[in-house]
């Protein structure tokens, strides 16, 4: 995908492609079957990323010069780590499993620990600000 936004005409073309599930002015969500097929064609048939995307009707004139290579690189990494199941889920955003749990997802003990850590942080911040104010007052 290129860094610039897609035009309305480009979005129409991309949405009409059977290998694209969704398309906005900034992002494309590719069909899960296309991802799996692309990785297999690359690994087993030795096709290049550009060849795979052009055969799928997704030329670099719309996507950008390095989009095919970058997408396939990501998909191969996911395939290597998680197999076919990894390619069937959208790996963007929250789906990665990283980050900190929401308060409602924590147990009572987890909530208490989180709140204690927050209190300790705020106390340290208040102490720092008090020292800063005292230095300025001098």
Rounded CA-CA distance 91/96 in Å is 6
Kindly state the percentage of the chain with pLDDT values over 70: 91
How many C-beta atoms surround the C-beta of residue 13 within 10 A? 18
Residue 66 has pLDDT above 90, yes or no: no
Residue 3 has pLDDT above 60, yes or no: no
List the chain domain ranges. Answer: 8-96, 103-137
Contacts of 89 (CB under 8 A, 6+ apart): 95
At residue 1, the pLDDT reads 40
At residue 106, the pLDDT reads 82
Mean pLDDT along residues 46-59: 89
| Residue-wise pLDDT tens digits, 54-65 | 888 888 888 888
Of 17, 13, 45, 43, give the one whose Cα is nearest residue 30: 17
Residue 2 has pLDDT above 60, yes or no: no
At residue 127, the pLDDT reads 97
Q: Helix 32-40 and helix 67-82: axis angle, to 10°?
A: 90
Q: Which residue has the higher pLDDT, 113 or 6?
A: 113
At residue 44, the pLDDT reads 92
| Residue-wise pLDDT tens digits, 86-115 | 887 765 655 555 677 787 778 899 899 999
How many C-beta atoms surround the C-beta of residue 112 within 10 A? 11
Mean pLDDT of the chain: 85
Mean pLDDT along residues 1-9: 70
């Amino acid at each position: 995908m290129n860094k610039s936004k897609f035009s309305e005409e480009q979005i129409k073309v991309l949405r009409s492609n059977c290998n694209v599930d969704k398309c906005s002015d900034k992002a494309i969500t590719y069909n899960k079957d296309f991802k799996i097929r692309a990785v297999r064609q690359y690994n087993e048939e030795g096709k290049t990323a550009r060849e795979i995307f052009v055969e799928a009707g997704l030329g670099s004139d719309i996507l950008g010069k390095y989009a095919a290579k970058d997408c396939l690189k990501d998909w191969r990494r996911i395939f290597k780590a998680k197999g076919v199941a990894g390619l069937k889920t959208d790996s963007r955003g929250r789906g990665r499993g990283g980050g900190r749990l929401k308060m409602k997802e924590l147990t009572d003990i987890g909530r208490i620990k989180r709140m204690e850590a927050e209190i300790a942080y705020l106390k340290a911040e208040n102490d720092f600000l008090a020292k800063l104010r005292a230095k300025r007052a001098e």
